[in-house]
Structure 1
Amino acid sequence: MSRARAGDSRIAAILGPTNTGKTHLALERMMAHSTGVFGLPLRLLARELYDKVVKAKGPAAVALITGEEKIVPPTARFFLCTVEAMPLDMRPAFLAIDEIQLAADPERGHIFTDRLLHARGTAETLFLGSTTMRPILRHLIPEAEIEERERFSVLTYAGAKKLTKLPRRSAIVAFSSEDVYSIAELVRRQRGGAAVVMGALSPRTRNAQVELYQSGEVDFLIATDAIGMGLNMDVDHVAFASFSKFDGRKRRRLFPHEIGQIAGRAGRFRSDGTFGQTADARPLDADIIERVENHTFEPVRKLTWRDGRLDLRNLDTLRRSLNTPSPDPVLERVRNAADEHVLDLVSRDSDIRERAAARDGTARLWDVCRTPDFRKSSPEEHARLVSTLYMHLTSAKGYLPDSWLDAQLTRLAKTAGDVDALAQRLAYVRTWSYAAHRKDWTKDPEYWTSRTREVEDQLSDALHERLTARFIDRRTSALMKGLREKTDLQSGLNSLGEVTVEGHFVGRLNGLSFEADAAGEPLARRAVANAAMKAVRPEINRLLSQLSQAEDADLALGEDGLLNWKDDPVGRLKAGGDPFTPGVDLIGGELGSSELIAQAEKRLMSFAADQAQTRLEPLLDMRKALKEEGRLDGLARGVAYQLVENFGAMSRAKLADELSALSVPERQSLRRAGVRIGEHAVFMPALLKPGAARLLSMLKAVHEGDIERAVKPPPGLTSIPNDRRYTLADYAAAGFQPCGPRAVRLDMLERLADLIRDQRSENKERRFEPNAPMTALLGCSNEDLREVLKALGYRRVQTAAEDQPELWAGRSRSGARPAQGGHKPHGKGKGPRKDVRAAKPAPVQDKPIDPDSPFAALAALELEQPKPAAQKRRKPRKKPKSKPSAQSSEAEATPVSDAPSDSAPTPAPDAQEAASQSPAEESQPDTQAASDTAETTQERS
C-alpha cells in the first residue's frame, strides 16, 4: 500500500463512543468506491463484516485476509482484513482503519500507528475510533477532517446485580477462559444457558455461539473483552464479573476508557443500555461511572511506535533498525514486543545465526519470528516452534515438509474430548493455518490452506457442540423462549404417551395424568411444568371430552379400586353415602377445564354404579325388597337387613337367635331372595362368583376407607392361605371363611359339611374319616385339612394305624366352644381350663391299659356300649363321690393326643369368632341347622 502524501486524498476521522454508527458508515463508504481495504482489530470482526459485504456485493468481489484465513477471489475489489494482515502493496480507492485508539496498546499499538501514519486510500481514508484520539490526530495528521458523533442511545449505570437477577439480553464480561466457563456453568444452572464468545475462538465457533444469542435461544452472553472491539450484538445490559485483567505482563485494573469501550456495547441504535457489576466485582467509583455515562475520558497522549523501515541485511542491522528512536515525542518506542523477544531467543542458536547470515536469511528469520503465539505458551516454548519452522524453511528444499505438516494436522484432527481439549487443538491448528497461508512456506499452499481449514472447521463444529452441551440446556431455553414469545406452543403426543413441546421431550401422559420430566435443574423443571400447563392442556381437554362419552367396553373396574380407560388408570373409587354406589376421584386431568372434569367424573360414577347393579343384582334386589311391603316380613326382614349391611354374608353363629326363631314362610321368603342358610354361614350363592365376590370385597374396603383391606382371592381357588390381617367380615364379603391355616369359600365349606354328614350318617358312632375328596374339595394338604376340621370344632378320636383308619367325631357339647384351630379358652388366672366332658379317651392309646387297674373293666364297658343315633334328653347319672385314682382322673381330663397343646399361641379374636361357627353338637344335633341343610340339599337335587 502506498504511503501517499496528505494532499493526495481526503483524510477524515470519525470519532465517538460505541453505538454511533461509525463502522456502518465506513462500510457504506467503502462499497461506494470501486475498491477498498478495511483494517479491523479482530479476526472475528473482519469475518463479520466480510459476510455483510458478501451479501451486498457477492463472494467474487470480496476478500478476507487475516493471519489464519485468506479468501481472495481473483476479481476481489473489497478487502476485509485484520490490521496486521492489510496488504501493503495495494492502491485502493478507499481505506479505513477501525478502533485507531489501539495505537496506544503496548503490544499491538505500533502496527496501528504505522497504518495511521502511512496507509492511505487514493480517494478517501477514514480513521474510526474514540474521541480520546482527537488531540493526537490533530498533532500527527493536521489535514484530517475530524467529525465527532453522539451516541444513538443513552448508557446508564445500573449497579450490582446477582447472576440470578440479571435482566434478559445481558452480556457478562470476564477476562480469562476459566472465569468465562465457570460463570457460563452457573448461568446454565440458574437461567437456562448462555452463549460463549472469546477472542481465542475460531470465527466458525464464535459465529455459531453468537447466533444462539442473537436468535433468542439463550438470553445471556458470557464473553471476554473481545466484545468491546466492534462486535455488533443486541445487548441490553453489560455486567462486569471483574474489573481487572492480565495484560500479558501483569494483572491490572481496567482503565476507565476500557470500561467504557466494553460497557458501550449495551444498547443498540435507539435502544438504551445499562451496565454494572455482578459476581465478585467490586463497585465502581462514582468518578468512573460519570465518565462512562458521559463518554468523557482522558485523551490519548502517546502512541506505541516502531520504525517500519527495517534493515534486513543481517541480524545486527535488523536490531539497530528495530531500535531506531522515535521521530516525535508523542510516539513512544514499543517495549517488550513479542516478535523482538522471540528474535533474541532464537538468534542465540549458532545454526540459526549461521543461516541468518546467508542471503535473505535475516528477512526470512524476521518473517518467522512474527508468527503469533496462538497457543499462548511460554516465550521459550514459542521460540522453539519458531526455530523449527525456520530450520525447515532454510533447508535445501526451502519449504515446510509435507510429511511433517501432515503429521501435525493428523495429530490434531480429533474431535473427541471436552471443551478445553478442543480449544487447545484449535489454537495449535491456527498456527498451521497461519503457516499454510504464507505462500512461500509450503510447496502447495492451496492444498494446505484447504487442509487446515477443514481441520479447523471440524474442531470448530465440535467445540460449538461441546460449548452448547456444557453451557446451554437446549430444552429449557427453547421452552422458556416459547413461553415468552408464543401464544400456542407446538406440542406432540406419540403412541407411547410421550409429550414433546417445541420438539423437546417434556414428560409422559398416562391416561389423564401428566408426569413432567424431572431431569435437570430446578429452572428446567419449572420450564417443563410451565410449558406443560400451556401445551398439554388442550390435549387433556380433548381426552376428558372423549372419556365423558366413552363406551362401557372401553372402561374397566380393577380390584384395586381403579377405573381404567383403554388400559390407563383415570379414576379411583372413594367412599360415598351408599356403599354400593361409591364416589369417584379423577386421576389426573388437573390441567383440564372444570366443566370437562365434572363430566368425566360423572361418567365414571355411572359406570361404577352399572357394574355394581349388574354383578350384585341379587343383593341389590334384596335391598330393594326391604323397602317394599310384603316381600320380606318378620324376622326374615331382619336377617335380610343384616346381610345387606354385611355385604351379603355372615357367620351362622351371629344369626343363631334369629335363625332359630324363623318360621317356615320366613325361611322360604329368604330362600326366594337367594339366601342360603348353611351349617356354617348364611350367604347368597350368586355372590360367590369371582366378579361379584371381588367387587363386594372392594366396595367394603372402599366404604371403610382402606382399599388394602380388600380380599383378592385368585379365580378358581376354593381355599386360600389365611392372612391374619383380614377380619372375618373382610373374608365374608369376599365369600370366604377363615378356618385355621386356610380361608375356605363358603359354598365349599358347606359341601365339606355335606361330605362329613354323609359319612357320619353311615357310621353308628357318628364318626368320619378325612379323605381325598375332602382335600380335593378344599385344594389343600392333609395336614391343612386336619387344621380346618379342628377350627370347625371337629376332633380326632382315633389315629391311623396299620389296621385302623383315622377317625374324627363331631364337637362335644360344652359350655365353651373350641377356638379356631382347636384352641380352648383360658380361665382367668388359673391356666388352661380342662373340660372333662369334652375330653374322651381315644379308643387307641399310645400305652395299653393296665389290666390290673380297677378301672380297666369300666373303661372297656364304656367303649363297648353302643350309642343310639338319636335319643331323648336324660339327666346324667350321678357318679359316686368317691375320689378317683390319679390315673383315672388324668385319663378322664386329658384331651386327645392330636389336640393343640396349651403352649400353642392363643388365636386372634377373629379366629375365635370363626371357631364359633361349628357344626351341630354330636350328642344333640341342632335340629334347625339340620332342617336348613335338608332344604338346601333338596333344592340342589
Structure 2
Amino acid sequence: MILSGRSVTAVLGPTNTGKTHFAIERMVAHGSGIIGLPLRLLAREVYTRVVERVGAHNVALVTGEEKISPANARFSVCTVEAMPRETKAAFVAIDEIQLAGDLERGHIFTDRLLHLRGREETLLLGSATMKPILLQLLPGITIVERPRLSQLFYAGQKKITRLPHRSAIVAFSADEVYAIAELIRRQRGGAAVVLGALSPRTRNAQVGLYQEGDVDYLVATDAIGMGLNLDVDHVAFAQDRKFDGYQFRNLNPGELGQIAGRAGRHVKDGTFGVTGRVEPFDEELVERLETHQFDALKVLQWRTSQFDFSSVTALQRSLDVAPRIEGLARALPATDQQALEYLSRYPEVIDVTDRPERVEKLWEACALPDYRRITPAQHADLIQSLYFDLVRRGTVNEDFLAEQVRRADRTDGEIDTLSARIAQIRTWTYVSNRPGWLADPTHWQEKTREIEDRLSDALHERLTKRFVDRRTSVLMKRLRENAMLEAEISVNGDVFVEGHAMGQLSGFRFTPISGAEGSDAKAVQAAAYKALALEFEARAARLHAAGNGDFAIGSDGYVRWLGDPVARLSGTDHILHPRVILLADEQLSGNARDHVAARVERFVNHHISTVLKPLDDLSRAEDLQGLAKGLAFQLVENLGVLFRRDVADDVKSLDQDGRASMRRYGVRFGAYHIFMPALLKPAPAELITLLWALKNDGLDKPGYGDLIPVLAAGRTSVVTTESFERSFYKLAGFRFLGKRAVRIDILERLADLIRPLLQWKPGSTARPEGAYDGRRFTATTAMLSILGATPDDMEEILKGLGYRADSVTAEEAAAYLASLGGAAASTEQSAEPAADPEADADAGDATSDAAAVAEAAAPAPAETTDAVAATEEASEPKPVLLWRPGGRGDNQRGAGNQRSGGDRRPGGAGPRRAEGEGKPEGRRDDRRRDGARKDGPEGGRGKFAGKGERQDRGDRKDRGPRPDREGGRPQGGQRFEAKPPRKDKPVDPDSPFAKLAALKDQLKK
C-alpha cells in the first residue's frame, strides 16, 4: 500500500547543503525521533552529535552489529536496515534516499520512504534527482530544495604526487586504495585510508588521523560520498569504474557528483579532478558536476514487504512478486534471497522447515550479512548451521560460537589478515545482537565488541605504520601550529629535528633521509628548513669571513669549503673565467646568499690567477713586441702548450731578442713544443685540464673526472684511452703518442738523448751508446728509463714523433759495430758506459757497444730479470730497430737539427736545442724538387734532397738493401756482413762480445 505524501517533507539538494544538520536540529526539537542513515560509520557520527545535544541517556544507537539502548532513550540513530517497520516516534528522517535506486540495497530505502512515518513530521533527505519520482509516488509531498553552500570547480588532471594538500583520492578496490596510499607515503609523507570493508572503529580512527591534520591526504572508496563530514578541499578520481555487485561499470554523473561534492566545506569552495590513469572529464560532464545537473531517477528498486511464510516455496514466490505501481522496479536478488535459493535446494533444510514459524526463522537467518565476502554457497552453509541450531536447540550452540570467536581473537598478522578477522568477528557481533538467538546475548555482545575493537585498533596501527610516516605527521602538526622547532646538527652533518633524524646538511644543501623525498620536498624538508634557518645564516657568515686556505677546487669541478661542496664551476666562452654556480637550497637567500656567492667567486678568481700565474703574467706582458707578442698570444690561448710544427714559420722568423724576452716569462723553445715548464707541475696541470673539461663539457663524459688527477700526479707517461680527446692530454702537459702519452718535458729530454746520436759521424769521436751510423740510432735503456716505457711502448712513441724504423738482426748489428770498433781501437780504449743514463756513453770499445745493442733489443729489465729464460722462450732473436728521421714529423726540426739559437736544457746541461726552420707538419717544401739545400733529418748534413729522399718518405716500415748513393756508409735498411775476426789475433775472453758468443753457443747445445 502506497501512502500519500501528506506531512512528508523532502529536503533535496547537492552535497554540502546542510541537510543532515537540518534533520538533527528538527529531530531534537521533537519529543522523540528516529533517523536512518546509509552507513554504520555515518550513524556513529550522527549519534555522537545528538549525544552532545541531548545527552547519552536520551539517545540509542541501533545497527546490525551494534546496539546501545538506554532505558528511556527518546531518540534513535539507526542504519536504514535497522530501522523498525513501524514506529510511534514523533519524528522520522531518512538520509540519502537516492540510494533507493541502488541495485543491491535500494529496495530497503524504497520500503522505508514509502511506509515509515513519524507522528508529527517525516523528512526525506537526498539528491535533487529524487524530486520527480517522489512527486509521482507520494502525492502531496512537500519539496524543499536547498542550494549548495559553496561552489565546486573542475581542476583537471594532475599526477598523484602533485595533488594539493587536503585532498581525497577515490578508488574502488582495496588493492588500488593500498597502492595509492603507499605511493603517497613515499612521496608526500602519508595518507589515511577509508574502505567500506573496514570496521567502523578503524574507519573512524583513519578519518580522525586525517581530520586532526596528521596526514594531508585521504585515500578512500565511494564510502566518503555518503555524508561523511570531512575537511576536503579537493577530490581526485583515480578510478571511474566500479563493481556494483553484478558487473563492472562506469560511474554515472550523479554518483560522480555525490563523491566530488565532498570537496569544500560550508562556505569554502572545493575542486575536483582526475588523477592516475583516468582520462580527463569532457566539458559536458564537467558542467553537469559544477552545476549539479543530473538525470532524475526514473525508477526505484522495490521488493515486497508482504512475505508468505506458509512454505519455503511460497516465500520464494512472494519474493518474486512484481510491483504494480509505475516507477518501481523489482529488485535483483539480494544476499538474503540468494542464500534462500541455495538453502531451498538442501533436502535436510526443507525437511526441517515444515511450518510457517520455521520458514520465518529461516528467512530471518538468511538476513545474516556476508561480511566475509565469501561465495554464496559458503555463506549459505554458515546460515544452515545457525538455522539448525535455532530450530533444534532454540539458540545458537555457544560452544560452536566460542570456537569461532576464539579463532578471530588474535591481533598478529598484517592488514589483510586483520581485515579478514574483523569481517569474521562482525558476523558474530551481528549474531549476538539478534533477538533470541543466544542464551546469553549480553555476554557475547560485549565479548565480540571487545574483540572487534581490539582488532580494529590493531588494523588502524598497521595501516598507519604502513601508510603514514609518523615523523612527518608530527612535524606537520608542529608546522601548522607555527611552533619553534628544535634542530640539532652533529659533527658529520646529521640533522635531527625534535629528536627525529631528518637527513644531512652538507654546505648549504640539506639532503633528507631515504624515503623522505617528494615532488615538493614534503613536510620533512619544510620542518628541517624551518629549524635550520638560523644555521644557514651562521654558516654564510663564517664562509664570508673564511680564508682562502679553507677552500679547494676538486677535479670534479666542485668548490669545497671545509670539505663540503658549496659551488660548482661551469664553462664559459673565456676558459680562464668559468661561471660559479652556487650549491645552496632556496632557504639561503637575500644578503646571506649574495655574500656566499661573492666570496666563492673571489676565491675561484684568486686560485686561477695564482696557480696559473705564469700564464697570467704572459697574457699581461707589455714588453713583448711583434712576433714575440703574437706567439705569446697563441701560447695563452692554448693554455701554455704549442706544437712547434704548428708555429714553425713564426719561430724561424723570431730573432734572438724576441726569444730572450719570451724566456724571461718562462717560455721554453723545445725540439717538439713551445711550452711553459712551470705549467707542467701537478697543480697547474690539474687546473688547466679541469678548465678545458668545463668549457668542452668533458666532465659530463665518462672517465674525464678520474683522468684529471692521474695526469696531474707527476707521472712521466700514462697509458692512453682513445675515447679521450688528444687535446686533453696536451693541456695536461702530455703528448699523445699511440698507446702512451708522454709528458712534454720528458720528450724534450728524449730529444736531448737522440740529438747527439744523429750528429755523431763514424770515426770522428767516440761513439755514444745508441749511435749507429750517423744517420740512425737504437733505443737505449736511458730512453726507456726516463719514459717509464717498455720497448714496445718506445716503438709507438718514436713512430708518433715521426721516426721510421729499419730492421736488422742482432748479429748483423753486432758485426757492423765491431767493424767500427776495430777502426777506433787504436785511439780509444774499451770503457764502461757512464753511470748517468742521460750522459753520453763512451763508445771506444766496439764489443761493449755490440752488447748494448743486443740488450736494447731484448726485453727491458722491468719486464723480466732472467735473460736466459727470455732467450729460450723466443724462437728467434728479436731484430734490432734502427731509427731514422722520417719524411714528415717533429723530428725534421727536432732532435736531428742543430742550427744555432736553440735553448739549453734547464741548468745549462746537455747540447743546445734546435730552433727548427722546416715547414709545419704536413706541408711540402717545393724547393726539394729543385735540389735546394735544406735542414733534413740527417742532423744538418746539408745534402741536396733529390729522388732518393722522396723514396725515403714511403710508408713501408722496413726496406731492403739498396746501393749506397754516397758510398762507404751503409744506408737505410741495408743488411751488413760482419768481417770475420783475424785468426792471428786472440779474442779477449773478458769482453762482452766474447761472453755473448759463449752464451749463444751454450744455448745452441
TM-score by length of 1: 0.60
Distance in structure 1 (CA, Å) of the matches to 2:611 and 2:257: 83
Structure 1 residue corresponding to 2:812, chosen from 830, 842, 845 = 845
Q: Paired residue for 2:687?
A: 695
Q: The residue matched to 2:12 in structure 1 has which SS? A: coil
Inter-partner Cα distance in structure 2 for 1:408 and 1:718? 84
> Match of 2:683, SS?
helix
In structure 2, relative to structure 1, the CA distance for the partners of 1:528 and 1:898 (3 Å cut) is farther
- Code of the residue aligned with 1:765 in structure 2: it is A
Q: Which amino acid aligns with 1:768?
A: E
**Residue equivalent to 1:557:** 553
Q: Give the aligned partner of residue 610 of structure 1.
A: 606
**Alignment match, 1:387:** 384
Which letter maps to 2:108?
R
Q: Deviations over 1:544-577 (max 9, x none)?
A: 7876655423321223444334445554556678
On the 8 A contact 2:166/2:233 being kept in 1, the answer is yes
**Structure 2 stretches of 5 or more lacking a match?**
1-5, 771-777, 830-877, 912-1005
**What residue identity is the alignment partner of 1:935?**
G
CA gap of 1:859–1:125, structure 2 versus 1, over 3 A, is: closer
Identify which of 878, 899, 904 aligns with 2:881: 899
SS at match of 1:611: helix
Whole-angstrom distance in 1 between the partners of 2:594 and 2:96: 73
Residues 110 and 334 of structure 1 are in contact (CA less than 8 Å); yes or no, is this contact kept in structure 2? Answer: no
1:780 aligns with 2:801: no
| 1:493 Cα deviation after fit | 11
Q: Is the 8 A contact 2:396 2:438 kept in 1?
A: yes
1:610 Cα deviation after fit: 1.8
User: What is residue 108 of structure 2 aligned with on the other side?
Assistant: 108
The CA deviation at 1:21 is 5.3
Determine if contact 2:168/2:232 at 8 Å carries over to the other structure: yes
| SS in structure 1 at match of 2:577 | strand
Which amino acid letter does the alignment assign opposite residue 612 of structure 1?
I
- Equivalent AA in structure 2 for residue 81 of structure 1: C
Name the amino acid aligned to 2:791. E
Cα 1:786–1:57, aligned 2, differ >3 Å: closer, same or farther? same
Residue number in structure 2 paired with 1:50: 47
Deviation at 1:387, TM superposition (A): 0.9
Match of 2:367 in 1: 370
Q: Deviations over 1:349-391 (max 9, x none)?
A: 5655665669986675454233234456666544322111122
902, 906, 913: which one aligns with 2:890: 913
* Secondary structure of 2:718's aligned partner: strand
Distance in 2 between the 1:558 and 1:66 partners?
72
2:908 maps to 1:935 = yes
Aligned-residue RMSD, C-alpha: 7.4
- How far the C-alpha of 1:844 sits from its partner, in A, is 5.3
The CA distance in 1 between the partners of 2:342 and 2:355, in whole Å, is: 19
What is the aligned partner in structure 2 of residue 306 from structure 1?
Answer: 305
SS at match of 1:717: coil
Question: Structure 2: how far apart are the matches of 1:323 and 1:652?
Answer: 107
The aligned residue for residue 16 of structure 1 is: 11
The CA distance in 2 between the partners of 1:568 and 1:511, in whole Å, is: 5
CA contact (8 A) 1:241 1:279 kept: no
CA contact under 8 A between 2:612 and 2:679: conserved in structure 1?
yes
Partner Cα distance (2:326, 2:638) in 1: 109
Structure 2 match to 1:809: none
In 2, Cα distance between equivalents of 1:260 and 1:928: 95
Task: Point out where structure 1 has 5 or more consecutive residues left out of the alignment.
Answer: 1-10, 140-145, 792-817, 825-833, 850-855, 869-895
Deviation at 1:200, TM superposition (A): 5.4
Partner of 1:893: none
Q: How much has 1:586 moved relative to structure 2?
A: 1.2
**What secondary structure is seen at the aligned counterpart in 2 of 1:46?**
helix
User: SS of the residue aligned with 1:384?
Assistant: helix
1:438 alignment counterpart:
434
Q: C-alpha offsets along residues 750-782 of structure 1, whole Å, 9 cap, x if unaligned?
A: 777889999999x95232379999489637255
* 1:113–1:303 contact (8 Å) kept in structure 2: no
SS of the aligned residue for 1:368 comes to helix
User: Contact between 2:720 and 2:739, CA under 8 Å: does it hold in 1?
Assistant: yes
| Per-residue CA distance 1:235-293 (angstroms, 9 max, x = gap) | 899999999999989999999999999999898767899999997999999xx999986
CA shift at 1:593, angstroms?
6.6
Does the Cα contact within 8 Å between 1:556 and 1:565 map onto a contact in 2?
Answer: yes
Q: 2:804 aligns with which of 796, 801, 823?
A: 823
2:79 aligned partner: 82
Contact 2:152 2:271 in 1 (8 A): yes
| Aligned CA distance change for structure 1 residues 489 and 937 (closer, same or farther; 3 Å) | farther
Distance (Å, rounded) in 1 between the aligned partners of 2:100 and 2:904: 122
Q: Provide the C-alpha distance between the structure 2 equivalents of 1:254 and 1:639, rounded to a whole number of angstroms.
A: 81
Residue of structure 1 aligned with 2:92, choices 93, 96, 100? 96
**Deviation of 1:434 (Å):** 0.7
Letter in 1 for 2:908: E
SS at match of 1:16: strand
CA distance in 1, matches of 2:339, 2:809: 118
Q: Retained in 2: the 8 A contact 1:651–1:914?
A: no
Q: Distance in 2 between matches of 1:692 and 1:686?
A: 8
1-structure distance, mates of 2:106, 2:20: 24
Q: Partners of 2:723 and 2:96 in 1: how far apart?
A: 89
Work out whether 1:66 is the aligned partner of 2:63. Answer: yes
Q: Quote the offset at 1:713 in angstroms.
A: 1.9
Contact 2:568/2:583 (<8 A) preserved = no
Distance 1:649 1:259 in 2: 74
Give the 3 Å change call, closer, same or farther, for CA 167–584 of structure 1 in structure 2.
closer
Corresponding residue for residue 768 of structure 1: 769
Q: Per the alignment, do residues 99 and 706 of structure 1 end up closer, same or farther by CA in structure 2, a change over 3 Å counting?
A: closer
Distance across 1 between alignment mates of 2:155 and 2:696: 61
Aligned-partner SS, 1:563: strand
Shift of 1:694: 2.6
Q: 2 CA distance for matches of 1:252 and 1:933?
A: 90
**Closer, same or farther: CA 329–764 of 1 in aligned 2, 3 Å:** closer
1:4-41 CA-to-partner distances (Å, cap 9, x unmatched) read xxxxxxx9644321477564344345546777654444
The answer to whether the 8 Å contact 1:106/1:334 transfers is no
Contact 1:153–1:268 (8 Å) recurs in 2: no
Distance in 2 (alpha carbons) for counterparts of 1:727 and 1:237: 56
Give per-residue Cα distances to partners, 1:285-331, cap 9 Å, x unaligned: 9xx9999869998899x9866369x99xx8699969989999x9999
What does 1:147-226 align with in structure 2 at a 5 Å threshold?
149-153=144-148, 201-207=198-204, 224=222
Question: How many aligned positions are there?
Answer: 809
Q: Give the SS at the match of 1:691.
A: helix
CA distance 1:518–1:617, shift in 2 (3 Å) = same
| 699, 717, 720: which one aligns with 2:718 | 720
**For residues 245-394 of structure 1, what are the structure 2 equivalents within 5 Å?**
306=305, 346=343, 351-352=348-349, 365-374=362-371, 380-394=377-391
Matching residue within 570, 578, 584 for 1:583: 578
| Cα distance change of structure 1 residues 774 and 598 upon mapping to structure 2, 3 Å threshold | farther
1:713-752 correspondence to structure 2 within 5 Å: 713-721=711-719, 734-736=732-734, 743-745=741-743
**In 2, Cα distance between equivalents of 1:857 and 1:266:** 105
Which secondary structure state, in structure 2, belongs to the residue aligned with residue 768 of structure 1?
Answer: coil
Task: State whether residues 92 and 116 of structure 2, in contact with CA within 8 Å, keep that contact through their aligned partners in structure 1.
Answer: no
Quick one: structure 1 residues 633 and 504, their matched pair in 2 at CA, closer, same or farther if it must change by over 3 Å? same
Q: How does 1:749-898 map to 2 (within 5 A)?
A: 765-768=766-769, 774=782, 778=786, 780=788, 783=791, 787=795, 791=798, 820=801, 822-823=803-804, 845=812, 897-898=879-880
Q: CA deviation at 1:898?
A: 1.9
- Matched-pair identity in %: 33
1:493 and 1:634, CA in 2 relative to 1: closer, same or farther beyond 3 A? Answer: same
**What's the offset of the Cα at 1:641?**
7.2
Alpha-carbon contact 1:571-1:587 (below 8 Å) kept: yes
Counterpart of 1:65 in structure 2: which amino acid? V
Equivalents in 2 of 1:703, 1:316: separation in Å?
91
Deviations 1:585-619 (A, max 9, x none): 41556967798777655433422232234334455
Separation in structure 2 between the aligned mates of residue 446 and residue 199 of structure 1, nearest angstrom: 27
